[in-house]
Structure 1
Protein backbone atom coordinates (compact mmCIF):
# COMPACT_ATOMS: atom_id res chain seq x y z
CA UNK A 1 0.00 0.00 0.00
CA UNK A 2 1.23 3.50 -0.79
CA UNK A 3 0.16 6.83 0.60
CA UNK A 4 -1.75 7.52 -2.63
CA UNK A 5 -3.85 4.35 -2.23
CA UNK A 6 -5.12 5.33 1.22
CA UNK A 7 -8.79 6.04 1.61
CA UNK A 8 -9.49 9.74 2.26
CA UNK A 9 -10.34 9.07 5.91
CA UNK A 10 -7.07 7.20 6.47
CA UNK A 11 -5.05 9.90 4.73
CA UNK A 12 -6.66 12.52 6.93
CA UNK A 13 -5.73 10.49 10.02
CA UNK A 14 -2.11 10.40 8.87
CA UNK A 15 -2.15 14.17 8.30
CA UNK A 16 -3.67 14.55 11.76
CA UNK A 17 -0.72 12.71 13.30
CA UNK A 18 1.69 15.06 11.52
CA UNK A 19 -0.07 18.20 12.76
CA UNK A 20 1.75 20.39 15.31
CA UNK A 21 -1.71 20.91 16.83
CA UNK A 22 -1.72 17.31 18.11
CA UNK A 23 -1.86 17.76 21.91
CA UNK A 24 1.31 15.89 22.81
CA UNK A 25 3.59 18.80 23.71
CA UNK A 26 5.94 18.79 20.72
CA UNK A 27 5.86 22.59 20.55
CA UNK A 28 7.62 22.84 23.93
CA UNK A 29 10.86 21.18 22.79
CA UNK A 30 13.68 22.41 20.56
CA UNK A 31 15.76 19.19 20.74
CA UNK A 32 18.99 21.07 21.37
CA UNK A 33 18.37 23.83 18.83
CA UNK A 34 17.94 26.49 21.51
CA UNK A 35 21.31 25.51 22.98
CA UNK A 36 22.86 25.65 19.49
CA UNK A 37 21.52 29.18 19.09
CA UNK A 38 22.90 30.12 22.51
CA UNK A 39 26.31 28.70 21.50
CA UNK A 40 26.35 30.75 18.29
CA UNK A 41 26.07 27.68 16.04
CA UNK A 42 22.61 28.48 14.65
CA UNK A 43 22.38 32.25 14.82
CA UNK A 44 21.07 32.92 11.30
CA UNK A 45 18.51 31.45 8.92
CA UNK A 46 21.26 29.65 6.98
CA UNK A 47 22.88 28.23 10.09
CA UNK A 48 19.58 27.14 11.65
CA UNK A 49 18.59 25.48 8.38
CA UNK A 50 21.96 23.72 8.14
CA UNK A 51 21.62 22.52 11.74
CA UNK A 52 18.15 21.06 11.18
CA UNK A 53 19.06 19.39 7.87
CA UNK A 54 22.02 17.73 9.59
CA UNK A 55 19.86 16.73 12.55
CA UNK A 56 17.38 15.13 10.14
CA UNK A 57 20.09 13.22 8.30
CA UNK A 58 22.37 12.23 11.18
CA UNK A 59 19.98 11.79 14.10
CA UNK A 60 16.37 11.34 13.03
CA UNK A 61 16.96 9.24 9.91
CA UNK A 62 19.44 6.81 11.43
CA UNK A 63 17.70 6.58 14.80
CA UNK A 64 14.04 7.27 15.47
CA UNK A 65 12.85 7.02 11.87
CA UNK A 66 14.62 3.70 11.38
CA UNK A 67 13.07 2.41 14.62
CA UNK A 68 9.61 3.54 13.51
CA UNK A 69 10.02 1.78 10.16
CA UNK A 70 10.96 -1.48 11.87
CA UNK A 71 8.18 -1.09 14.45
CA UNK A 72 5.60 -0.71 11.69
CA UNK A 73 6.58 -4.10 10.29
CA UNK A 74 6.38 -5.55 13.80
CA UNK A 75 2.88 -4.15 14.34
CA UNK A 76 1.77 -5.72 11.06
CA UNK A 77 2.99 -9.09 12.40
CA UNK A 78 1.69 -8.33 15.92
CA UNK A 79 5.18 -9.03 17.21
CA UNK A 80 5.06 -7.43 20.64
CA UNK A 81 8.43 -8.85 21.65
CA UNK A 82 10.02 -6.98 18.75
CA UNK A 83 8.12 -3.80 19.68
CA UNK A 84 9.36 -4.06 23.27
CA UNK A 85 12.94 -4.46 22.06
CA UNK A 86 12.67 -1.41 19.80
CA UNK A 87 11.13 0.60 22.62
CA UNK A 88 13.99 -0.36 24.92
CA UNK A 89 16.48 0.70 22.25
CA UNK A 90 14.84 4.11 21.82
CA UNK A 91 14.72 4.76 25.56
CA UNK A 92 18.31 3.68 26.25
CA UNK A 93 19.80 5.67 23.36
CA UNK A 94 18.61 9.03 24.70
CA UNK A 95 21.90 10.69 25.59
CA UNK A 96 20.65 13.30 28.08
CA UNK A 97 17.98 13.61 30.73
CA UNK A 98 16.13 16.22 28.66
CA UNK A 99 15.93 14.07 25.55
CA UNK A 100 14.78 11.06 27.55
CA UNK A 101 12.09 13.09 29.32
CA UNK A 102 10.89 14.38 25.95
CA UNK A 103 10.56 10.87 24.54
CA UNK A 104 8.74 9.71 27.68
CA UNK A 105 6.38 12.68 28.00
CA UNK A 106 5.41 12.79 24.32
CA UNK A 107 4.98 9.02 24.34
CA UNK A 108 2.61 9.16 27.33
CA UNK A 109 0.67 12.02 25.80
CA UNK A 110 0.28 10.23 22.47
CA UNK A 111 -0.84 7.04 24.23
CA UNK A 112 -3.46 9.12 26.11
CA UNK A 113 -4.58 10.63 22.80
CA UNK A 114 -4.84 7.15 21.27
CA UNK A 115 -6.90 5.97 24.25
CA UNK A 116 -9.43 8.73 23.62
CA UNK A 117 -9.26 8.42 19.85
CA UNK A 118 -10.09 4.69 19.89
CA UNK A 119 -12.34 4.66 22.94
CA UNK A 120 -14.86 2.30 21.33
CA UNK A 121 -12.36 -0.25 19.97
CA UNK A 122 -11.68 -2.99 22.54
CA UNK A 123 -8.88 -4.58 20.51
CA UNK A 124 -6.98 -1.35 20.14
CA UNK A 125 -7.57 -0.48 23.78
CA UNK A 126 -5.73 -3.67 24.74
CA UNK A 127 -2.73 -2.65 22.64
CA UNK A 128 -2.85 0.91 23.98
CA UNK A 129 -2.86 -0.48 27.53
CA UNK A 130 0.19 -2.57 26.58
CA UNK A 131 1.95 0.58 25.31
CA UNK A 132 1.15 2.39 28.55
CA UNK A 133 2.37 -0.51 30.67
CA UNK A 134 5.66 -0.60 28.75
CA UNK A 135 6.21 3.19 28.96
CA UNK A 136 6.26 3.54 25.19
CA UNK A 137 8.62 6.23 23.95
CA UNK A 138 7.21 8.68 21.44
CA UNK A 139 8.59 7.01 18.26
CA UNK A 140 7.06 3.68 19.28
CA UNK A 141 3.72 5.23 20.24
CA UNK A 142 3.78 7.07 16.90
CA UNK A 143 4.43 3.83 15.04
CA UNK A 144 1.28 2.31 16.50
CA UNK A 145 -0.77 5.43 15.77
CA UNK A 146 0.46 5.34 12.17
CA UNK A 147 -0.25 1.60 11.95
CA UNK A 148 -3.85 2.32 12.93
CA UNK A 149 -4.25 4.61 9.90
CA UNK A 150 -3.44 1.79 7.50
CA UNK A 151 -0.55 3.74 5.98
CA UNK A 152 2.48 2.04 4.49
CA UNK A 153 5.81 2.65 6.24
CA UNK A 154 6.84 5.21 3.63
CA UNK A 155 3.75 7.34 4.19
CA UNK A 156 4.02 7.01 7.96
CA UNK A 157 7.64 8.17 7.94
CA UNK A 158 6.87 11.09 5.64
CA UNK A 159 4.19 12.21 8.09
CA UNK A 160 6.50 11.76 11.08
CA UNK A 161 9.38 13.63 9.46
CA UNK A 162 7.24 16.53 8.30
CA UNK A 163 5.63 16.86 11.74
CA UNK A 164 9.11 16.93 13.29
CA UNK A 165 10.25 19.52 10.74
CA UNK A 166 7.30 21.82 11.42
CA UNK A 167 7.93 21.73 15.17
CA UNK A 168 11.64 22.40 14.73
CA UNK A 169 11.03 25.30 12.35
CA UNK A 170 8.68 26.88 14.87
CA UNK A 171 11.39 26.45 17.50
CA UNK A 172 13.89 28.18 15.20
CA UNK A 173 11.51 31.07 14.59
CA UNK A 174 11.26 31.66 18.34
CA UNK A 175 14.83 30.88 19.41
CA UNK A 176 17.01 32.52 16.72
CA UNK A 177 14.66 34.48 16.24
CA UNK A 178 13.46 34.43 12.63
CA UNK A 179 10.53 35.74 10.64
CA UNK A 180 7.81 33.55 9.18
CA UNK A 181 9.26 33.81 5.66
CA UNK A 182 12.62 32.57 6.92
CA UNK A 183 10.84 29.71 8.65
CA UNK A 184 9.07 28.75 5.45
CA UNK A 185 12.36 28.72 3.55
CA UNK A 186 13.88 26.39 6.15
CA UNK A 187 10.80 24.16 5.97
CA UNK A 188 11.17 24.06 2.17
CA UNK A 189 14.78 22.92 2.59
CA UNK A 190 13.75 20.20 5.00
CA UNK A 191 10.91 19.10 2.73
CA UNK A 192 13.40 18.57 -0.09
CA UNK A 193 15.55 16.39 2.17
CA UNK A 194 12.77 14.33 3.78
CA UNK A 195 11.98 11.87 0.93
CA UNK A 196 15.61 10.70 0.70
CA UNK A 197 15.81 10.54 4.50
CA UNK A 198 12.72 8.33 4.58
CA UNK A 199 14.10 5.95 1.97
CA UNK A 200 17.37 5.70 3.90
CA UNK A 201 15.55 4.98 7.16
CA UNK A 202 13.44 2.28 5.50
CA UNK A 203 16.56 0.53 4.22
CA UNK A 204 18.47 0.42 7.52
CA UNK A 205 18.77 -2.98 9.25
CA UNK A 206 19.17 -3.34 13.00
CA UNK A 207 22.97 -3.32 12.81
CA UNK A 208 22.99 0.03 11.00
CA UNK A 209 20.47 1.79 13.24
CA UNK A 210 22.29 4.20 15.53
CA UNK A 211 21.99 7.14 17.87
CA UNK A 212 25.33 8.92 17.69
CA UNK A 213 25.26 12.71 17.49
CA UNK A 214 27.85 13.92 20.01
CA UNK A 215 27.45 17.67 19.45
CA UNK A 216 23.69 17.38 19.88
CA UNK A 217 24.21 15.46 23.12
CA UNK A 218 26.72 18.02 24.44
CA UNK A 219 24.40 20.94 23.66
CA UNK A 220 21.42 19.14 25.14
CA UNK A 221 23.37 18.56 28.36
CA UNK A 222 24.34 22.24 28.44
CA UNK A 223 20.73 23.24 27.87
CA UNK A 224 19.71 21.47 31.08
CA UNK A 225 21.61 24.19 32.97
CA UNK A 226 21.17 27.09 30.55
CA UNK A 227 20.27 30.24 32.47
CA UNK A 228 17.58 31.57 30.14
CA UNK A 229 15.51 29.31 27.86
CA UNK A 230 12.15 29.03 26.15
CA UNK A 231 12.05 25.28 25.57
CA UNK A 232 12.19 22.11 27.66
CA UNK A 233 14.97 20.60 25.52
Structure 2
Protein backbone atom coordinates (compact mmCIF):
# COMPACT_ATOMS: atom_id res chain seq x y z
CA UNK A 1 0.00 0.00 0.00
CA UNK A 2 1.38 3.38 -0.98
CA UNK A 3 1.52 6.14 1.60
CA UNK A 4 -0.78 9.02 0.73
CA UNK A 5 -2.50 11.95 2.43
CA UNK A 6 -5.76 9.97 2.21
CA UNK A 7 -4.25 7.02 4.07
CA UNK A 8 -2.86 9.27 6.77
CA UNK A 9 -6.18 11.10 7.09
CA UNK A 10 -7.88 7.73 7.47
CA UNK A 11 -5.46 6.82 10.25
CA UNK A 12 -6.23 10.16 11.88
CA UNK A 13 -9.97 9.46 11.80
CA UNK A 14 -9.56 5.97 13.25
CA UNK A 15 -7.05 6.97 15.92
CA UNK A 16 -8.04 6.64 19.59
CA UNK A 17 -6.40 10.05 19.99
CA UNK A 18 -9.23 11.66 18.02
CA UNK A 19 -10.71 14.02 20.64
CA UNK A 20 -14.37 13.07 20.38
CA UNK A 21 -14.84 11.23 23.67
CA UNK A 22 -15.61 7.72 22.42
CA UNK A 23 -13.39 6.32 25.20
CA UNK A 24 -16.09 7.31 27.72
CA UNK A 25 -18.66 4.86 26.30
CA UNK A 26 -18.93 1.07 26.44
CA UNK A 27 -22.26 0.74 24.53
CA UNK A 28 -23.68 -1.65 27.08
CA UNK A 29 -20.56 -3.76 27.56
CA UNK A 30 -20.17 -2.56 31.14
CA UNK A 31 -23.56 -4.01 32.07
CA UNK A 32 -22.72 -6.99 29.89
CA UNK A 33 -20.18 -7.98 32.52
CA UNK A 34 -23.13 -8.58 34.86
CA UNK A 35 -24.76 -10.71 32.18
CA UNK A 36 -21.89 -13.19 31.81
CA UNK A 37 -19.16 -11.36 29.91
CA UNK A 38 -16.38 -12.25 32.32
CA UNK A 39 -13.33 -13.20 30.26
CA UNK A 40 -11.61 -12.77 26.90
CA UNK A 41 -13.66 -15.44 25.14
CA UNK A 42 -16.95 -13.93 26.29
CA UNK A 43 -15.79 -10.41 25.43
CA UNK A 44 -14.80 -11.58 21.96
CA UNK A 45 -18.21 -13.20 21.42
CA UNK A 46 -19.96 -10.04 22.60
CA UNK A 47 -17.90 -7.71 20.41
CA UNK A 48 -18.13 -9.85 17.29
CA UNK A 49 -21.84 -10.45 17.85
CA UNK A 50 -22.60 -6.73 17.97
CA UNK A 51 -20.23 -6.09 15.06
CA UNK A 52 -21.80 -8.71 12.79
CA UNK A 53 -25.47 -8.23 13.67
CA UNK A 54 -25.47 -4.52 14.44
CA UNK A 55 -22.56 -2.56 13.04
CA UNK A 56 -22.30 -4.38 9.71
CA UNK A 57 -26.05 -4.31 9.10
CA UNK A 58 -26.76 -0.76 10.27
CA UNK A 59 -23.84 1.59 10.87
CA UNK A 60 -21.68 0.64 7.90
CA UNK A 61 -24.32 0.67 5.15
CA UNK A 62 -25.70 3.97 6.45
CA UNK A 63 -22.20 5.41 6.67
CA UNK A 64 -21.63 4.47 3.03
CA UNK A 65 -24.89 6.18 2.04
CA UNK A 66 -24.04 9.35 3.95
CA UNK A 67 -20.55 9.38 2.41
CA UNK A 68 -22.12 9.16 -1.06
CA UNK A 69 -24.60 11.91 -0.20
CA UNK A 70 -21.79 14.21 0.97
CA UNK A 71 -19.95 13.57 -2.29
CA UNK A 72 -23.08 14.60 -4.20
CA UNK A 73 -23.68 17.60 -1.92
CA UNK A 74 -27.03 15.99 -1.13
CA UNK A 75 -27.65 17.47 2.30
CA UNK A 76 -31.21 16.15 2.42
CA UNK A 77 -29.84 12.63 1.88
CA UNK A 78 -27.30 13.02 4.66
CA UNK A 79 -29.97 14.31 7.03
CA UNK A 80 -32.32 11.45 6.11
CA UNK A 81 -29.79 8.73 6.83
CA UNK A 82 -28.45 10.43 9.94
CA UNK A 83 -32.00 10.63 11.31
CA UNK A 84 -32.53 6.96 10.51
CA UNK A 85 -29.31 5.99 12.26
CA UNK A 86 -30.24 8.00 15.34
CA UNK A 87 -33.75 6.51 15.38
CA UNK A 88 -32.20 3.04 15.31
CA UNK A 89 -30.42 3.66 18.64
CA UNK A 90 -32.88 1.95 20.94
CA UNK A 91 -31.95 3.42 24.32
CA UNK A 92 -31.54 6.93 25.69
CA UNK A 93 -27.84 6.37 26.38
CA UNK A 94 -27.06 5.13 22.88
CA UNK A 95 -28.90 8.08 21.34
CA UNK A 96 -27.14 10.56 23.60
CA UNK A 97 -23.78 8.98 22.79
CA UNK A 98 -24.49 9.40 19.08
CA UNK A 99 -25.42 13.05 19.50
CA UNK A 100 -22.51 13.91 21.79
CA UNK A 101 -19.79 12.24 19.75
CA UNK A 102 -21.34 13.64 16.58
CA UNK A 103 -21.20 17.18 17.98
CA UNK A 104 -17.61 16.65 19.14
CA UNK A 105 -16.53 15.45 15.70
CA UNK A 106 -18.39 18.32 14.06
CA UNK A 107 -16.50 20.84 16.20
CA UNK A 108 -13.20 19.14 15.43
CA UNK A 109 -13.82 19.08 11.67
CA UNK A 110 -14.88 22.71 11.74
CA UNK A 111 -11.63 23.58 13.49
CA UNK A 112 -9.75 21.57 10.85
CA UNK A 113 -11.27 23.71 8.12
CA UNK A 114 -14.34 21.74 7.03
CA UNK A 115 -17.01 24.44 7.11
CA UNK A 116 -19.72 21.92 6.15
CA UNK A 117 -19.45 20.56 9.69
CA UNK A 118 -20.44 23.79 11.45
CA UNK A 119 -24.26 23.47 11.18
CA UNK A 120 -24.04 19.91 12.52
CA UNK A 121 -22.68 21.00 15.89
CA UNK A 122 -26.24 21.82 16.96
CA UNK A 123 -28.24 19.84 14.40
CA UNK A 124 -30.77 17.83 16.48
CA UNK A 125 -30.36 14.60 14.51
CA UNK A 126 -26.59 14.69 14.23
CA UNK A 127 -24.69 11.42 14.41
CA UNK A 128 -21.05 10.46 14.62
CA UNK A 129 -21.45 8.55 11.35
CA UNK A 130 -22.70 11.62 9.49
CA UNK A 131 -19.59 13.59 10.40
CA UNK A 132 -17.31 10.60 9.78
CA UNK A 133 -18.84 10.40 6.32
CA UNK A 134 -18.26 14.12 5.77
CA UNK A 135 -14.58 13.77 6.62
CA UNK A 136 -14.23 10.81 4.28
CA UNK A 137 -15.90 12.64 1.42
CA UNK A 138 -13.94 15.86 1.79
CA UNK A 139 -10.62 14.07 2.29
CA UNK A 140 -11.13 11.84 -0.79
CA UNK A 141 -11.32 8.58 1.16
CA UNK A 142 -13.20 5.75 -0.52
CA UNK A 143 -16.32 4.27 1.06
CA UNK A 144 -14.79 0.83 1.58
CA UNK A 145 -11.72 2.18 3.37
CA UNK A 146 -13.85 4.60 5.39
CA UNK A 147 -16.18 1.83 6.55
CA UNK A 148 -13.23 -0.39 7.47
CA UNK A 149 -11.69 2.41 9.54
CA UNK A 150 -15.02 3.08 11.27
CA UNK A 151 -15.42 -0.61 12.11
CA UNK A 152 -11.86 -0.91 13.37
CA UNK A 153 -12.14 2.23 15.51
CA UNK A 154 -15.40 0.91 17.00
CA UNK A 155 -13.79 -2.44 17.75
CA UNK A 156 -10.74 -0.83 19.30
CA UNK A 157 -12.95 1.23 21.59
CA UNK A 158 -14.87 -1.89 22.65
CA UNK A 159 -11.62 -3.71 23.32
CA UNK A 160 -10.32 -0.80 25.38
CA UNK A 161 -13.50 -0.92 27.47
CA UNK A 162 -13.18 -4.69 27.91
CA UNK A 163 -9.58 -4.36 29.08
CA UNK A 164 -10.69 -1.91 31.76
CA UNK A 165 -13.61 -4.07 32.85
CA UNK A 166 -12.22 -7.61 32.67
CA UNK A 167 -9.10 -9.54 33.70
CA UNK A 168 -8.00 -10.15 30.11
CA UNK A 169 -4.97 -7.85 29.74
CA UNK A 170 -3.54 -5.99 26.78
CA UNK A 171 -2.49 -9.15 24.94
CA UNK A 172 -6.00 -10.51 25.12
CA UNK A 173 -7.24 -7.28 23.63
CA UNK A 174 -4.75 -7.55 20.80
CA UNK A 175 -5.90 -11.08 20.05
CA UNK A 176 -9.46 -9.78 19.59
CA UNK A 177 -8.23 -6.94 17.38
CA UNK A 178 -6.19 -9.36 15.28
CA UNK A 179 -9.28 -11.47 14.65
CA UNK A 180 -11.22 -8.32 13.82
CA UNK A 181 -8.74 -7.34 11.12
CA UNK A 182 -9.50 -10.64 9.42
CA UNK A 183 -13.27 -10.25 9.69
CA UNK A 184 -13.82 -6.56 8.98
CA UNK A 185 -13.08 -6.63 5.22
CA UNK A 186 -15.78 -9.25 4.64
CA UNK A 187 -18.26 -7.34 6.79
CA UNK A 188 -17.56 -4.14 4.86
CA UNK A 189 -18.15 -5.94 1.56
CA UNK A 190 -21.44 -7.33 2.88
CA UNK A 191 -22.50 -3.90 4.18
CA UNK A 192 -21.79 -2.19 0.89
CA UNK A 193 -23.89 -4.75 -0.93
CA UNK A 194 -27.08 -4.24 1.10
CA UNK A 195 -30.17 -2.74 -0.49
CA UNK A 196 -31.91 0.08 1.37
CA UNK A 197 -34.70 -2.22 2.55
CA UNK A 198 -32.15 -4.60 4.10
CA UNK A 199 -30.45 -1.96 6.24
CA UNK A 200 -31.12 -2.55 9.93
CA UNK A 201 -29.25 -4.26 12.72
CA UNK A 202 -30.44 -6.32 15.64
CA UNK A 203 -28.42 -6.88 18.81
CA UNK A 204 -31.01 -7.43 21.56
CA UNK A 205 -28.45 -8.37 24.20
CA UNK A 206 -26.65 -5.07 23.73
CA UNK A 207 -29.93 -3.15 23.85
CA UNK A 208 -30.99 -4.82 27.11
CA UNK A 209 -27.57 -4.17 28.62
CA UNK A 210 -27.69 -0.55 27.53
CA UNK A 211 -31.17 -0.05 29.00
CA UNK A 212 -30.05 -1.54 32.31
CA UNK A 213 -26.91 0.60 32.31
CA UNK A 214 -29.08 3.73 32.61
CA UNK A 215 -29.93 2.78 36.19
CA UNK A 216 -26.70 1.05 37.16
CA UNK A 217 -25.65 2.24 40.62
CA UNK A 218 -21.91 2.48 39.90
CA UNK A 219 -20.27 2.69 36.51
CA UNK A 220 -17.07 3.57 34.70
CA UNK A 221 -18.66 4.44 31.37
CA UNK A 222 -21.44 6.71 30.16
CA UNK A 223 -23.19 3.97 28.18
| TM-score, reference length from structure 2 | 0.95
Distance 1:176 1:227 in 2: 18
What whole-Å deviation, never above 9, does each CA across 1:177-212 have from its counterpart, x for those lacking one? Answer: 321111111111111111111111111121011032
Distance 2:162 2:135 in 1: 27
What is the aligned counterpart of 1:86 among 81, 88, 102?
A: 81
What is the aligned counterpart of 1:104 among 81, 94, 99?
A: 99
* Matched residue, 2:9: 13
* Matched residue, 2:143: 153
Contact kept in structure 2, 1:59 and 1:212, CA below 8 Å: yes
What whole-Å deviation, never above 9, does each CA across 1:100-153 have from its counterpart, x for those lacking one? Answer: 0100000000000001111xxxxx41x213323534211111111111221110
Large movers: runs of 4+ above 4 Å: none
Q: Report the secondary structure of 2:79's partner residue.
A: helix
* Matched residue, 2:168: 178
Q: Which moved more, 1:106-115 or 1:78-87?
A: 78-87
Distance 2:181 2:12 in 1: 18
What is the aligned counterpart of 2:19 among 20, 23, 34?
A: 23
Contact kept in structure 2, 1:11 and 1:149, CA below 8 Å: no
Quote the RMSD (CA, aligned, Å). 1.3
| Residue 202 of structure 2 corresponds to residue 212 of structure 1 | yes
| Residue 124 of structure 2 corresponds to residue 130 of structure 1 | no
| TM-score, reference length from structure 1 | 0.91
The Cα shift of 1:220 comes to 0.4
Q: Report the secondary structure of 1:81's partner residue.
A: helix
